[in-house]
Every structure is written in structure tokens, then in C-alpha cells.
A and B are shown apart, each in its own frame.
Chain A
């Protein structure tokens, strides 16, 4: 075998073998090839996708000069599960169980956004009690989500007690959500037309107990972190992004509010009766990680206010639309071993009414039809504008469900926030974005 060099490629000659052409990289003066005009210290660091500080499977490729980041590139897609495609193959009600798994820290927001889009397509109004309970569980969920944001923030900055405290408090919320929906996460509790079921007995009392405990825990959080000099110096002036930058990059949620713009869809485009609740939109004017931390802390307090008001205005009533052609026929009941089928309902369809059985079968297997058209429904998730663009062609399954996930959009700001800063500040910047990769990659 002879080696023939391609004169146009002095570094990689090739030769033909029985297995095809083989290239031999013969070396060369790599210092010349990669001559670095900016200095000796250019270093490309691959951070992630498996890295404890990147909030899940996020990959950052950082160009470093010394400790300064000159370029930050973000690679995503490691958690892509094709949820949008999957929803096209299930009926409208089943869609809830898919979308709830996207932004897994804010499952109830995904369900609510999706269901509100389906209801807008159907042209149905949900009962008042269902709307109030939706607000109630969403605000509980917002607290849980912000607590995880703060906990992981603490962990990534080296304040491990912040993490243990945050997760401890979040567990209280998850216990409540488990009591209400049957599951800690991925609830599939909010359904097109209302809710899967009413609040169980005792839930209101337990939420009220939580409301008594939580303000003190928020104060503890402030005592633990807010006044701490290390915490302040790690966060202040880090990950700067002003309003102009936010709008150009489409950034919404706490990041935008920390830059000073009080843009909260619950206020500016109210839904589910948010306009009748009394709450503030916390803002900061620092446009940095510190401001985002303070905004999230303040939003926990606002959510507590909203939960209290929602509890006060709970009136007895249905939690599902009257139309039996839409309302899910199966009823759930809470047994001693957890949530399960309602035996009364099973008895009714199996033993008493043939028509009820047919009705149940048709609605559960085929589902209801949704008139053709398209809608875009935005709601304020803990991370910003969560938009559902849902297209129906008049059949029992969605034609297209596109989710404008706030994490996906906000993550684009990583480069703007971290280039020119120190590598340690990249961690703070990404943590202050609070991306959830399940939502980013869908």
C-alpha cells in the first residue's frame, strides 16, 4: 500500500484500502494552524451536558481567556422527547398528561395553558369554582417552582443550606398538591372543561395551615441568604440584562421584571379572573441575578396572598362543564389506598345503564371533537410567558400543539448575560434564568 498525499491538503493525506479511503493526519504545526491572536490563554471548556450546575442536561461551550468568558454557546436538545408530536396522536383530554411533563417544575401551568387553549377552541366557559381552584393550585405550584429555583440557586452558589431549606419547604407544597391531585408532580388534574375532581375533604384546612407556616419560612430564607455578604457579592451585577436586551431576546417573567418592567400576564392580560384578585407585581431595577432572586422571593409572598383570597372565595359548585359530551365521564374517588376509580361509577356503567357505558366508552376511547381553528393562549408561568398555540382540524385529536416555553426562549440570553464576565458568574447567570430543560427541549 502506498500513501498518496493530496497536495491541496498537507495535513491529511489519504490512501485507498479495501475498506475504503483512509485518511492519515500527519501532524503539522498546530500552533500555526490555531494561532491565537488574542493571547496565549484561550481555552475552550465544555461544560455539561452532565454537570451539577447546569440545571439538568444543558451543555455550555465556553471560550475562556484566563477566567474571562469571551464566548458562550448553548447546546440543547438532550431532553427532547417529542411531546408536541405525541399530542397529535392522542385525544384532547390525553394531551393534558403529555404537556404536564414538559416544564416539570410547573406542571399545573402547562395543564392550565393547554386546557384554556382547548376551551377557547371549544368556546366553553368553565365553572367559577373550577377557575378558582385552578388559580389556587397554580399559585401553590408557583411557590413550589420558585422554591426549587431558589434552592438550586443556593446549591450552585455553594449555599447548601439554601438548597435543603428550599426543598424542605417545597415538599410541603408537594404534599398539598398530592393531597389535592393524587400526585406530587405530573398531575393531569386540570382537564379541558374544568378539573379532574373537586378538592378533597380537609384540603382547605391543610392549605390554611401551610399559609400560616410559610411566611415565617420565607423570612428564614431572607435571614439565611439575603443579608449574607457572600451571597450578595456572588449575585450583584452578575448576569446583567436590561429591558431592551430582554425584549430583543424575548425574555419574560422574573428576569424581565427584575429589569424593571412590571410585565405580568396576570395583570396585563388577566385570565381565570386574576383581575379580581388583589396582588402586586414585584419588580427590581438592578437587571441582574440579585434582582431576579429578590423578585422570586417577593413573588412567593404574592402567591401566598393569592392563595388566601382563592380559599376565601371558594363557593360550592361544579368543577366541570355541564356538557356531558365534553366532561370526562369517569369519576375518581379517594380510597384508603390512594386515588382510584369510583366504585359507584363503575357500578353505574357496568350494572345499571347501557347508555352510560356507551357514553363512557365513546368519550374515553375516541374523545370529543373540537371545532376547527387555531388559538394562542399565553399565561404567566413561574418562568414567564407560557404560550399554547393549538390548531384543531375538527377532529378528536389536536392537529398541532406548539408550546412557547419560557425556559426555551429565556435560555437564549445566556450568552448576553455571561460573555465578558468570569466563568464563576456563568453559573450565577444560568441559575438566575432558572431554565427547566424538560420545558426547553420538550
Chain B
């Protein structure tokens, strides 16, 4: 019995274990790699599709080890072990996957510790890995990710923190108290992904109208989700007009 979300056939065809490979359809409803011309030569499926599930082993290389050691020293080994489930180094960038309960402790240390000094929160945004981590998002593989890009101007370093939550319990503590610049970023992430930042001073919509329904950048929210109406004619949303799926 295979449902519409079941991709085990595709994954098997690609020689990837079913739960770990995420693949999207190509244009024109093509399944699998859709490769008839050799373009698929570039396909490289990370374990877990876009949201890689493995952890990089020490040493991480570059300044990443220094940052990690300083972070462990700042928050304590036990807290670090509880807070950071895994660390991924990819394409010269480091990502710490952080449990939301420990986010504030970590960011506070990252900002204030003399050996870390991440003074600038460059960006906070969301990513919805709806079906990219497997057919269905499961509690141990939550679909909504909040991504923090922190910059240390003192040491000229950049790191990324990632917090994953489920759509049913999309609550993340707000970092506005630590990085005031996150105010609008978090409002935008709430607006676009429906992630609630607990402790935010005024978490309201920022880009969409106040009375808008839904969170447009979630993957299950269609492009052009609103039917456009002109005089006596209704134009269906684009995703029902063309194969934008």
C-alpha cells in the first residue's frame, strides 16, 4: 500500500535508504531523477536530503574547533552536550543543531563570552523541510527549522544555529532580549512560517496583512494561494493552473 507521499520506490531506485533520502519531483511531473540526458550527474543526495542527519566528527577544521571549545567552556560540558545534538560542517560553514530549551543559554554565551563575541545576529529565518527529510515529518525529524546566522566582528567568524520544531508545537524562545535586531526577523519568521517566538515583545505579522490566514512560506501553502478576482472572472491560483508542484 503506497500513499501519495511514499517515495520508497524512488529512493530504492536511487540506491538510497528510504528514510534517509529526500527527493523532489522535477518539472512536468517527472519522478525519480528524471534524468534522460546525463544532467543527473550532479545529483548528490545527502543522508536525509536537504536536512542532512549525520554529524561531522572532530576536528572540524579552521576556527570551528576554537569556537566549539570556547562554547563548551562557556556553558559547561553538560549543557553543551544537552543543547547541541549534532554539528555539521559543510562547504566551509558550521551548523550547530540546538535544542530549543537551551537556545537562550547558548546565544547569551555566544554573544558575551570573550572568546566567542558574536556581536551581530546577521539573520534569523525559517526553513520548512516538509517532505525533504522523508515522506512525513516525524517528531524526531521536525519539519520547521529556525536558522540563526551569527557574526563575530571581533574574530571575523560566522556560525549558524538551527532549532527544529514540529508544526504542532512550533514554539521557540525569542532571542530579542539578547539580539534586539532579531525583533523584525522573528516577526517575519512568525508571519511566513507560523513559528511562535515565546517572549517576543510584539509578535505580530509584518509583511502580510494583519488578518491574513495561514503562513505563506510553509511548503504546504501553495504559491498564489489566493484566487485572484477580476470583474466577473475568477483566476485560479497559479498552482492549479500549471504544474508548479
Say whether A associates with B. Answer: yes
Chain A residues in the interface with B (C-beta under 8 A): 76-77, 80, 82, 84-86, 88-89, 91, 120-123, 247-252, 261, 263, 268-269, 325, 358-359, 362-363, 365-366, 368-376, 378, 385, 387, 389, 391-397, 399-400, 402, 404, 408-409, 411-412, 441-442
10 closest residue pairs by CB, A with B: A250-B181, A393-B50, A404-B123, A402-B125, A371-B44, A80-B207, A395-B24, A77-B207, A369-B42, A372-B46
Binds A, one of B4-12, B32-40, B59-67, B99-107: B32-40
Docked complex Cα distance between A80 and B34 (Å): 34
Q: Which of B38, B127, B208 has the most CB of A within 10 A?
A: B127
Quick check: A389 and B52 within 8 Å, CB to CB? Answer: no
Beta-carbon contact of A263 and B24 below 8 Å = no
Q: Which residues of B contact A250 (CB under 8 A)?
A: 120-122, 179-182
- Closest chain-B Cβ to A401's Cβ sits at a distance in Å of 10
Q: Is the CB of A395 within 8 A of B23?
A: yes
Q: Assess the B44–A394 pair: CB atoms within 8 A.
A: yes
Q: Roughly how many angstroms separate A146 CA and B208 CA in the complex, as a whole number?
A: 30
| Chain B 27-55 interface residues, beta-carbon cutoff 8 Å to A | 27-28, 34, 36-46, 49-50, 52
A393 engages B22 (CB within 8 Å)? yes
CB neighbours of B37 from chain A (8 A): 358-359, 362
Q: Is the CB of B91 within 8 A of A120?
A: yes
A323 to B136, CA, bound (A): 36
Contact B24–A77 (Cβ < 8 Å): no
B44 touches A375 (CB 8 A): no
Which residue of A249, A368, A371 contacts B39 across the interface (Cβ within 8 Å)?
A368
| Contact, CB under 8 Å: B39 / A362 | yes
Contact yes or no, B50 A391, CB < 8 A:
yes
A385 to B27, CA, bound (A): 34
Chain B, interface SS category: loop
Q: Which of B72-80, B153-161, B166-174, B227-235 contacts A (4 or more CB under 8 A)?
A: B153-161
CB contacts (< 8 Å) of A247 on chain B: these are: 119-120, 153
Contact of B147 among A85, A362, A389 (CB under 8 A): A389
Contact assessment for B223 and A89 in the assembled complex, using a CB-CB cutoff below 8 Å: yes
- Residue B183 CB within 8 A of the other chain: yes
A400-B50 Cα distance, complex, nearest whole Å: 10
**Contact for A373 among B36, B46, B223, CB less than 8 A:** B46
Q: State how many angstroms separate the Cβ of A408 from the closest Cβ of chain B.
A: 7
A76 to B34, CA, bound (A): 42
> Which residue of chain B has the shortest Cβ distance to A371 in the bound complex?
B44
Known: A399-B24, A402-B127. 10 other contacts (CB 8 A): A80-B208, A122-B42, A268-B153, A358-B37, A359-B37, A362-B36, A394-B45, A399-B132, A402-B123, A409-B185
Q: Which of the residues A122, A248, A358, A378 comes within 8 Å of B122, measured between beta carbons?
A: A378
> Contact partner of A363 among B24, B39, B40, B91, CB < 8 A?
B39
Residue positions of B touching A, CB distance < 8 A: 22-24, 26-28, 34, 36-46, 49-50, 52, 90-91, 93, 95, 119-123, 125-129, 132, 147, 149, 151, 153, 156, 158, 160, 179-185, 188, 192, 205-209, 216-217, 223, 244
| A268 closest partner in B (C-beta) | B156
Pairs A–B under 8 Å by Cβ, sample size 19: A77-B208, A250-B120, A250-B121, A261-B153, A325-B41, A363-B39, A369-B43, A370-B42, A373-B90, A374-B90, A376-B123, A385-B122, A391-B127, A393-B23, A393-B24, A400-B127, A400-B128, A402-B127, A412-B181
Given the known inter-chain contacts A249-B181, A250-B120, please indicate yes or no for A373 contacting B24, CB distance below 8 A: no
Q: How far is the CB of B70 from chain A (nearest CB, A)?
A: 20
CA distance A120 to B129 in the complex (A): 21
Given the contacts A362-B37, A368-B42, A409 and B181 also touching, CB distance less than 8 Å: yes
* Measured CA separation A391–B147 after assembly (Å): 11
CB-based contact B125/A389 at 8 Å: yes
Does the CB pair A395–B122 fall under 8 Å? no
A368 CA to B37 CA, complexed, in Å: 11
Chain A residues with CB under 8 Å of B149's CB are 376, 387, 389, 404
CB proximity of A20 to chain B, nearest CB, Å: 19
Chain A binding surface, main DSSP class:
mixed
Most B C-beta atoms less than 10 A away, residue of A370, A387, A402: A402
Q: Bound complex: CA of A116 vs CA of B148, how far in Å?
A: 20
A412 in complex: contacting residue of B129, B153, B184, CB < 8 Å: B184
- Could you tell me the distance between the alpha carbons of A416 and B132 in the complex, rounded to whole angstroms? 41
Are B183 and A412 in contact (CB-based, < 8 A)? yes
Report yes or no: A123 in contact with B91, Cβ–Cβ below 8 A: yes
Across-interface contacts of B34 in A (CB, < 8 A): 366
Cross-chain contact B132 with A89 (CB below 8 angstroms): no
Q: Write out the residue numbers on chain B whose beta carbons fall within 8 Å of the beta carbon of A373.
A: 46, 50, 52, 90-91
Closest B residue by C-beta to A81? B207
The smallest beta-carbon distance between A85 and chain B, in angstroms, is 6
Given B38, B153, B160, B209, which contacts A263 in the complex, CB threshold below 8 Å?
B153
Known pairs A84-B217, A391-B127; A372 contacts B181 (CB<8 A) = no
Among A358, A370, A408, find the residue whose CB has the most chain B CB atoms closer than 10 A. A408
Residues of A within 8 A of B217 (CB): 84-85, 400
Residues of B within 8 A of A397 (CB): 24
Q: Give every chain A residue within 8 A of B206 (Cβ-Cβ).
A: 76-77
**A375 pairs with B39, CB closer than 8 A:** no
Q: How far is the CB of A53 from chain B (nearest CB, A)?
A: 22
In the assembled complex, the CB of B31 is this many whole angstroms from the nearest CB of chain A, namely: 12
| Nearest chain A residue, comparing its CB with the CB of B217 | A85
**In the complex where A268-B156, A366-B34 touch, is A396 in contact with B44 (Cβ < 8 A)?**
no
Alpha-carbon gap, A123 to B119, bound state (A): 29
Distance, CA A358 to CA B38, complexed state (A): 11
- A404 and B184 CA atoms in complex are apart in Å by 11
A118 to chain B, nearest CB (A): 12
Contact assessment for A387 and B122 in the assembled complex, using a CB-CB cutoff below 8 Å: yes
Q: A387 CA to B122 CA in the complex, in Å? A: 8
Residues of A close to B127: CB separation below 8 A: 374, 391, 399-400, 402
Q: Which residue of chain A is the closest to B149 with respect to CB atoms?
A: A376
CB distance from A387 to the nearest CB of B (A): 5
Given the complex, which residues of A lie within 8 Å of B179, measured CB to CB?
A: 248, 250
Q: Which residues of the other chain, B, contact A269 by a CB distance below 8 angstroms? A: 156
Q: How far is the CA of A80 from the CA of B43 in the complex (A)?
A: 34
Closest chain B residue, CB of each to CB of A77 = B207
Tell me the nearest residue of chain B to A251, going by C-beta: B181
